[in-house]
Chain A
Amino acid sequence: MMITVKGLRKAFGTHVVLDGVDLNVAEGAIFALLGPNGAGKTTTVQILSTLLRADAGEVFIAGHDLNREPEAVRAAIGLTGQFAAVDQVLTGEENLMLMVYLRHLERSKGQNRVRELLERFDLTDAAKKPVSTYSGGMRRKLDLAMSLIGNPRLVFLDEPTTGLDPRSRQTMWQLITELAANGVTVFLTTQYLEEADRLANRIAVLDKGKLVAEGSPADLKRRISGGHVELQFADVAGLDKAVQSLGSAIRDDNALTVRVPSNGSIGALRKLLDQLDSAAIPVTGVSVHTPDLDDVFFALTTQPDKKEVTQ
């Protein structure tokens, strides 16, 4: 096991962020911690990367006790935080060389490694330019390259593609996949089921500081069983009638919508609309959604801001 976590707890004042989290990440795996904003993903990464002390819990990383041997843990990991932690004043190459010096690598070996990473991350042309001139995608790539100096066995990626354009996201996914192919264990956090699905061989779903599910992407999707249909109504009266008629559904009184679990097939859609039609409930809009993070949470958790109605 590259990471073993038992009973991890953290609170900021009275606000409990992590409420007893257990995790096991195998060596060489791509592990995704999936959850919405505020679930505790960043806090988990900060604790595991030695930036933050947990209130309770046992953590072993690469065979080292996080509390007793933080330096040994630091030597084994690379961290790419949520916001590209690159030096804007320095050039891309200087940023990488800074990491070479701080990792106490031999200068010539370090220079070779820097050249290789610039090449692999397609940053060679921009190597001598200050990072302040880089695009968001380039910064994120440089950030990842910086955490790879010194060949860490484990890399933490906190929301590696948040805020990136689709193309940069594809590139990032590619790089992460290659990383794992080279034997590096990857621990990433994400808000996107699609991302976890594409990259990870193991996903843990975090909600309000607790793990609500863990398994392979296939396991999780089996539990979600398809996406949902969202129905739009003109008024609350329509919404009320629809909820009564449909049975299991999630209503959103502000948006005047009802969300019904569905596989999204034409047959299921027709049946749903027929049912509303026969009850004389006018529907003003329909949209079909493939499974996303919301569906995961619909399936696995209760959401306080939306009322669940089961009759």
Chain B
Amino acid sequence: MSNTVSNMAYSITDTVTMLRRTVIHMLRNPVMMLLGTLGTPIILLLMMYNLFGGVIQSNALTSSSYINYITPGMILITVIYSTGMAALRVNSDMTQGVISRFKSMSISRSAVLNGHVIGSMLGSLISVTVIFGLAYLMGFRSAANTFGGVAAIGLIVLYVTATMWLAIAIGVWSKSPEAANGMLYLLYILPFFSSAFVPTQSMTPVVAWIAENQPFTPIIDTLRALLMGTPTDNRAFIAVAWCIGFGLVGFLGARAAYNRSTNQQ
């Protein structure tokens, strides 16, 4: 019994140690960090709004302004980019043999990945806040009540957790940063075929079918409804189910790959 307690205590101190390491990694190279996680989302937000905002707003299907329409999707895209950086960080641990060192030591097995996940999640949430701030400056206004706001934050945290584990799994699984980037590319590209920038009704039938049936659309639609104070309908359940599915696959995949990994050359 006392053994279990001390194991748990070590598990927490080890996680904190690994978390601190992840945070140092992020802070040590702030320019790379900012460019890698926020560069593309900021450019994308400005570009979409300024290039297409006018056209789209004149054909608007709803009364809400275009910045209100694209902000939820941009939040999801921002998270993807920061999880990408996390995947590359964990991959460099795997490929440079640091993980072998940790695994040969008497430290909590879960601490290494948990440290990566928690540290990177903090980074993600900061990025999300920055994008929210930028969107606000560009005219984004939420119409959510308290419940909607809390639910929106809850959904964002759930989504960040899920995609983070998925990205970490990719990072642990991949034999090289190039391979990791290749798999991450799927994650990067998927939101463009969703309701992030235009409603699915306006798409050609094939693309619309993809958009309607891929995970990002229900998550974006739910987040948008929560932020705009409109009804979420059953897409909310689909959104949560996708997140839990992603998260479980990522968590189990990352753990399996981590346990099986040795630095075989």
Seen from chain A, the residues whose Cβ lies within 8 Å of a Cβ on chain B are 42, 46, 49-52, 71-72, 74-75, 77, 79, 81-90, 94, 98-99, 101-104, 130, 146-147
Contact = CB atoms under 8 A, between A and B. Distances in A.
Given A74-B106, A85-B100, A104 B262 contact: no
Interface in B1-42: 10, 13-14, 17, 21, 24-25, 28-29
B262 A51 contact: yes
Contacts of A82: 97, 263, 265
Contacts of B17: 98, 101-102
Contacts of A99: 105
A130 B96 CA distance: 16
Contacts of B265: 42, 82
Given A77-B104, A94-B24, A88 B96 contact: yes
A74 B105 contact: yes
B89 to A, nearest CB: 9
A42 B107 CA distance: 22
A85 B25 contact: no
A147 B17 CA distance: 17
Interface string B100-115: 1111111100000000
A52 B100 CA distance: 10
Given A81-B100, A86-B98, A101-B17, A46 B262 contact: yes
Interface string B103-134: 11111000000000000000000000000000
Nearest to B9: A104
B263 A81 contact: yes
Nearest to B97: A85
Nearest to B14: A102
A258 B105 CA distance: 49
Contacts, number: 68
A61 to B, nearest CB: 12
The 5 closest A-B pairs by CB, nearest first: A85-B97, A74-B106, A85-B101, A79-B104, A101-B17
Contacts of B103: 50-51
Contacts of A89: 24-25, 28-29
A38 to B, nearest CB: 10
A98 B21 contact: yes
A82 B28 CA distance: 27
B54 to A, nearest CB: 44
A84 B98 CA distance: 8
Contact of B101 (A71, A79, A94): A79
B98 A87 contact: yes
A146 B101 contact: yes
A101 B104 CA distance: 15
A291 B236 CA distance: 74
A133 B101 CA distance: 21
Interface in B81-102: 96-98, 100-102
A114 B101 CA distance: 18
Contacts of B24: 89-90, 94
5 contacts: A74-B104, A83-B96, A90-B24, A103-B105, A103-B106
A74 B28 CA distance: 31
A104 B105 contact: no
B50 to A, nearest CB: 37
Contacts of A52: 262
Nearest to A42: B265
B13 A81 contact: no
Given A51-B262, A81-B263, A82-B265, A90 B21 contact: yes
Contact of A71 (B25, B96, B106): B106
Contacts of B13: 101, 104
Nearest to A98: B21
